[in-house]
Structure 1
């Protein structure tokens, strides 16, 4: 019986195999991958592990980077990528090369799961991984290659008994292949996300000792991004936040005990200076960049309020002004920075939103977001959503180093200085969605909604823009079934790697009214690509694919036929 190579103690791997070795580290260009890498970097430093950092945006980048850097290296770590493809078949590494995959994308590719020698999947202690049994999807090589032997037996006229036996074996193989196809289709039908990569690595960091405050903050920011981008449902988010709250409380208690043990004023002052920031659990309004923007702009650019108040409609501006009037907030107050508003309005803002939630159809469960706030001396407080959005903004601009720096809790001053970039980015996305809806670009193709988006600079921008366009269209109420239909979005991305012609990306999103975040597009996309013989490359998200521009039309038509 084959045993899957599931790794639950990555620290032992670092100590036994990777300590002192040089490792190739492939980091996906999304905020979750950046946060996970920062925690992994601290573990590498503890074990004196050398590494080569390779930022990758898609599997074309992974193949190119591996080919250019694999010489003389025996180990590779894939951070937030690699779980959903056959790594060994895609990269074709040397026989002694070993991969360690730290990825939240699910489901695991069956070849990765049962590869005993070369691929090791890091999973959480409490995660239950369900895959088809080994005998259902794999057979011994002598059984698989026995078709030629059966043909030779049939060619022998004196082997009547052998021919009958060969016919029975062929029938058994056909039945096995049919069972295998059904099992794989059921296994790969949906894409979803497991525990976030940053939380997995934070769990490993706790095995060493008390992790740094920066590692804890990175895990919080990475987990927050998964919620903002729609990759996690609220129940999974709340469950992990409870565990993070316990870690934050434990850290604060330990820090308080250390401060209390300081006997002199000088030692207490030194303890305060050495602490980079303080983390606090908070229940904030679900308004993006509220502390660093005006209230009116926050409501206009935050998906929950923009869609609930139907701000993308013809009467959106009127509804926003009506909400502010009912809340007792003058337009002059709403248009100035939040810090410049009167303290009375700031302190009563949450009560005003709670009081008006029913009248303006604001979901009470989505109106407030349980999250964490980082407070450093002489610097404005930062909510985890602020850092997650800033990291995504830097990645959209192609600034990988700035994206790494902004998730470090010690760099709060630089984060506050760069938040203007996020404001411009979010305002631009809101204006793009408004233009798309005004032009009627979101159309119903029967089994799903379809929208063609302007060219985007990266997967983070594409995902947020497509999600906002979908929610904005549903909020207008032009279609009764819009909330039950998934969305297929397409746009042009700059080509990369050895095949720049793969420039058209298709991204599938689940329905707005879905109870969970499982995505139905994966199996349909694979079948559509095979059916129309479109040349494509898989993206890190299993519900996205990159195609030749000339294959885009026939791929979309094939997808409509399959999902109808």
Structure 2
């Protein structure tokens, strides 16, 4: 059931109650969790402080009593971490004792949560999840499941009567017919029974078709952090810090290609009004603002990855759009890029040093200099700028929202030896704490390593002609033993690699069909267990929709070949499989998509 009034039917309902908070392993979910926890800081009374103590720690986190996420004392804290559906079940079983309310952030909307968890009592499940489609049982469960999302986004939701029916009337009718049968009306009863069975069979066939049509594509809705911020705003509890968290959550969807550009623009426009409200200062107030005050600015941001924390040259080479336009992995492309920078009036020695060390005049004119030359080099405005936000506190360099996403995600999916998922989650929380500059800088450096690994792998794919056309789709496989392969065992990094690979392949392919083909990408996951991580992304031609059909396709291909696959991720277009079954699985997928 959809929650209409978040304050009345969610916030007020869970106050002074034991609450289990389960959070997915992504940046948007982490931001939403921090916004939610802000409401339970010990600022009102003792019972409110006790509520903070009762809020259990997030999925993928084990929070010690001395270092709570929200910065307030947390006692008797239940600990759990999960990376998929099975771990989520385990976390629920281990932490659900005495729990009356369970809040799920970016998890479980696409599955029947009551059927999956089989709760022994009747806790209330509050689901704030951007994954689509939402399972029909969650939508029509008016007792246990409350959906914290925008109902108007679910435009293709089937009607209740199309997917549920009450068969008790059939049984009652049958009992009456038995009585009639004993009265000598057996023939009429048989005909009625046949008609009922035929009608039920047709209804079931139609139900299966309706459900298949509803679930055949996966997509994403409004980010959970934005919804949590809007709840805070309606309760007059929003702050600039919470606004920045919502901005990072929306930017996370953009960075990882979850929502189309139009949807991102709508969310940015909604956030921009809040930015103007929280960051408007009069002339008299300007000198009274503390230098440590967070300031958020809305502007057209260059689509150059982390350029303020890198060199301009490196940033261009590691940004998907610009890198693919210039084909920087080739000698000809490098030469063309050098010519572009020269015609901009940008000396190469300036471009290759750290951005913060460049001449002030050059730094301030980069956007205009690029725009002056874009037509000559086949660039369009969408390749160069995108509306975004940047934050600044103190005298430090500005931090763009997308840069914060890269840094946070790199730490969240850390591969450092000795680091547990719990450690990675807590480190990512530190990055979202604006006073922890050291953690942010460490995250930015790790993000650069990831991006370098992505570009190196893309160049390997293209140089070795490893992006293969299977007819209805493209596929590429990362070989075992590849340098930095550890990065690609993580979902978000592998998604960015897949997108970069697809755009790079389309930029060099002579076939006009390339942009109409989706890509399947596989990476070694666990060599000892012989498993591969496989993801599928839609073609560039459908970029305005960002709908993915690989979830159902993967399930059907695996089922038809008895391939040993594991569909445990919250994103159905991501799965694990036994490396030995890869060949027959791809053959089945080929046959399936050709029909």
Q: Same-fold call, TM > 0.5?
A: yes
Shift of 1:179: 0.9
Match for residue 482 of structure 2?
Answer: none
**Counterpart residue number, 1:200:** 227
Q: Does 1:466 align with 2:494?
A: no
> In 2, are the aligned partners of 1:395 and 1:458 still within 8 Å (CA)?
no
Contact 2:239–2:278, Cα closer than 8 Å, also in 1: no
How is 1:176-325 mapped onto 2 (pairs within 5 angstroms)?
A: 176-253=203-280, 256=282, 259=285, 272=290, 276-313=293-330, 315-325=332-342
Change (3 A) 1:503 1:213: farther
Residues 203-242 of structure 1: CA distance to partner in whole angstroms, max 9, x if unpaired? 1011221412211001101111111111111111111111
Say whether the 8 Å CA contact 2:450–2:493 is kept in structure 1.
Answer: no
TM-score of the superposed pair, with normalisation by structure 2: 0.85
Aligned length: 545
Aligned mates of 1:506, 1:457 — CA distance in 2: 10
* 2:407 paired with 1:390: yes
Change (3 A) 1:356 1:425: same
**In 2, Cα distance between equivalents of 1:429 and 1:279:** 30
CA shift, 1:314, in A, is: 5.0
| 8 Å contact kept, 1:112–1:119 | yes
SS at match of 1:465: helix
Alignment-derived partner of residue 107 in structure 2: 81
Name stretches of at least 5 consecutive residues in structure 2 with no aligned partner.
61-81, 415-420, 479-484
1:415 aligns to what?
440
Q: Sort the Cα spacing of 1:525 and 1:258 in 2 relative to 1 into closer, same or farther, 3 A.
A: farther
Partner of 1:516: 545
Kept in 2, the 8 Å contact 1:450–1:487? The answer is yes
Q: CA deviation at 1:551?
A: 4.1
The one-character-per-residue Cα deviations of 1:459-496 (angstroms, maximum 9, x if unpaired) are 1111111111111111112432111111112223359x
d(CA) in 2 for partners of 1:211, 1:389: 25
Matches within 5 A, 1:9-48: 9-45=5-41, 48=51
Distance 1:449 1:218 in 2: 36
TM-score calculated relative to the size of structure 1: 0.90
Residue 431 of structure 1 pairs with residue 456 of structure 2: yes
> Which shows bigger deviation, 356-365 or 109-118?
356-365
SS in 2 for 1:541: coil
1:477 aligns with 2:509: yes
Conserved in 1, the CA contact under 8 Å of 2:489 and 2:533? no
Quote the residue 1:527 is aligned against: 556
Between 1:514-523 and 1:530-539, the stretch displaced more is 530-539
Q: Is 1:115 matched up with 2:141?
A: yes
Residues 143 and 490 of structure 1: CA distance in aligned 2, closer, same or farther (over 3 Å): farther
For residue 353 of structure 1, report the CA deviation from its aligned partner. 1.1
Task: Give the 3-state SS of the residue equivalent to 1:243 in structure 2.
Answer: helix
Q: Which runs of 5+ in 1 are unaligned?
A: 261-267
Superimposed CA distance per residue, residues 109-143 of structure 1 (whole angstroms, 9 cap, x where no aligned partner)? 11111112111111137645441111111122536
Q: Could you say which residue in structure 1 is the equivalent of 2:521? A: 489
1:264 aligned partner:
none
Partner of 1:493, secondary structure, is strand
Task: Report which structure shows greater RCO (CA 8 Å, sep ≥6).
Answer: 1
Distance 1:392 1:15, change over 3 A: closer
Q: Per-residue deviation at 1:411?
A: 3.2
Q: Give the C-alpha shift of residue 563 in structure 1.
A: 1.1
SS of the residue corresponding to residue 273 of structure 2 reads: helix
Contact kept, 8 Å, 1:380 with 1:416, in 2: the verdict is no
- What is the aligned-residue RMSD (CA, Å)? 2.9
CA distance in structure 2 between the aligned counterparts of 1:323 and 1:377, rounded to whole angstroms: 35
- Looking at structure 2, the residues matched to 284 and 444 of structure 1 have their Cα atoms a distance apart, in angstroms, of 35
